[in-house]
Structure 1
Amino acid sequence: MQLLFALLVAFFLYRDGEALIERLRRVAERVGSDRALELLDLTGDTVRGVVWGLIGTGILQGVLAWRGFMIAGVPGAAVPGFMTVLLSIVQIGAPILWASAAAWLFAEGEPGWGLLMLIWGGVAVSSTDNVVRPWLISRGAKLPFLLIVLGVIGGLLAFGFLGLFLGPVLLAVAWRLVERWTQRTAAGEGVAGGGSLT
């Protein structure tokens, strides 16, 4: 249900997204706040980073899984490799595929290849999800890597699939607000300190 809801929202945002952004920019300009424009740009960059993080990680996991399937001798390796891409993007769980392939290898009397498939899937395929995705998102949003990791994991735990988008965006906006607030506070203290010395 969350995936269907996300696709429905994405359809309308892709269809009317430019008009919505333009209206939000006009509102920000009318309010006269440069901070609002900056936060609007930050939100767009973060959402783009999340999308590219999901797609890029899914493709990388699919390629790694496909190579593992080919090396282990799984028939039709391209099909489960492609399915890994799709399952990685929608967050259902690519381990279903490589664990199934390992079980098939064990059943076929290939315990060595089955064990190798389990290790390859656990270390190479699944671990990229925890490293590559936050790295791609942090590059797009120009934010600290740890902040994005916390946003992705926390958002996923709190909101499910939609949390992959909400978590990093909310943390990124909060981070920029705190950053601006501390800069203004430091600037105010500097002015006050300079006034007291003169």
Structure 2
Amino acid sequence: MVSNDMTSSRLVIIIFLVVTGTLMLYILQGVLAPLVLAGVCAMILHPVYKKILAVLKNRSNAASLLVTVAMVICVVVPLVFLFLALWQEFMVVYWNVYGTIHVSGMQGIFTTSWWHQISALLKTYGIDEQGFVRNVVMPFLSNISAYGSRFFAGIVSNAAGLGFGFVIMVVSLFFFLRDGDTFVSFLIKLIPLAERETNHMIQTFKRVVKGILLGNFLTAIAQGVIGGIGFWIFGLPAPTLWGTIMAVMAMIPFVGPGVVYIPATVFIFLGTGSLEKTFMFLAYNLLIVSTVDNIIKPAIIGTRTHIHPLIILLSLVAGVKLWGVIGILYGPLVAALFLLAIDFYLEETKQRSLF
């Protein structure tokens, strides 16, 4: 009888916990993205916080504040300048290209004899350059202009919402850093597993998140920066814009920065006719930009945590489709939890661990 009463009592508590937890998530759904982002940042910055905490002789408030302020300075200030540079370069490139093609056609962009030969070859197949420019190139440029304008206008018009979310993220990051150990201890007590198993799950989750998010994001940023420098070195227009696009493409497995620098290589060849400059630009990107991930990823995540690129691709695509832009964060996190569950099952059944 006592056992039945205890079982009923525990069931009521579990149901109450699930209901109130669901209500809490419903209440927090408007700020869930900043909270998750703050949690991921706290997880990544926790080792830095610990070192600063030791230097400041365990003054947790000062250490957490210092790390949070440093993060804001290192992230927000560059993002503001990046946004302004992207907008300026986007408009300059668009109007230069649009105006030149509108007045002189494709020959205004590609002035070498190679383009004349290509144009003559296209005519033999019934493709008229002027018709191609009028029916394909100009509408394509107009669509790009409309999309870019909507994108930048959306950021500006949503500045208040972005600012509010950023404040929530910064405040949450401060407390996650300062009280992170307390939160983890509470989580260990909450999960109905042995403490050793729970600690193992948490550490594995950190490694997987580090592998999926930190490794791929930092690698993509490095490839974008180095790629943009390459555009600047070889005198191509809008290096910041194209470097940013390369970084975005580098986050997508099986795509990479090649979708930017390969057309740029063709542009150099048709625009200058210089084989030397063309091959030097291509070699720079193949030997430096495309090999950065082979250097940075092992340095960041080591060789033990290997995430198949297909899993990363599917988690990114599905996350963006389901949640929008924030799905870039949510998708990999869900994938990390799924891989963690598989790893835990394999270890419990005495099979080989994923990690």
TM-score by length of 2: 0.37
Are the equivalent residues in 2 in contact too, given 1:155–1:168 (CA < 8 A)? no
Greater RCO between the two (CA within 8 Å, min separation 6)? 1
Report the Cα offset of residue 26 of structure 1: 2.1
**Structure-2 change in CA distance of 1:74 and 1:124 (3 Å):** same
Q: Aligned letter for 2:266?
A: A
Q: Structure 1: which 5+ runs fail to align?
A: 1-7, 184-198
Indicate yes or no: 2:316 matched with 1:152.
Answer: no
1:12 to 35, 44, 69: 35
Over residues 59-105 of structure 1, what are the superposed CA-to-partner deviations in whole Å (9 max), with x where a residue is unaligned? 3213431453345342564x246425642576485334323432331
Q: Aligned letter for 1:87?
A: V
Query: Counterpart of 2:234?
Result: 72
Q: Which has the larger radius of gyration?
A: 2
Q: Structure 2: which 5+ runs fail to align?
A: 1-30, 39-168, 321-327
Q: Percent identity?
A: 17
State the secondary structure of the residue aligned to 2:236. Answer: coil
Query: Counterpart of 1:143?
Result: 304
Are the equivalent residues in 2 in contact too, given 1:84–1:97 (CA < 8 A)? yes
Indicate yes or no: 2:258 matched with 1:95.
Answer: yes
State the secondary structure of the residue aligned to 1:29. Answer: helix
**Structure-2 change in CA distance of 1:105 and 1:9 (3 Å):** farther
Once residues 151 and 66 of structure 1 are traced to their aligned partners in structure 2, the CA distance between those partners, rounded to angstroms, is: 28
1:106 to 264, 269, 279: 269
Once residues 286 and 236 of structure 2 are traced to their aligned partners in structure 1, the CA distance between those partners, rounded to angstroms, is: 17
Over residues 92-126 of structure 1, what are the superposed CA-to-partner deviations in whole Å (9 max), with x where a residue is unaligned? 85334323432331232235233443454355424
Query: Counterpart of 2:222?
Result: 60
Indicate yes or no: 2:330 matched with 1:167.
Answer: no
Q: Runs in 1 of length 4+ with deviation above 6 angstroms?
A: none
**Structure-2 change in CA distance of 1:149 and 1:168 (3 Å):** farther
TM-score by length of 1: 0.58
The answer to which of 171-180 and 19-28 deviates more is 19-28
Once residues 172 and 32 of structure 1 are traced to their aligned partners in structure 2, the CA distance between those partners, rounded to angstroms, is: 15
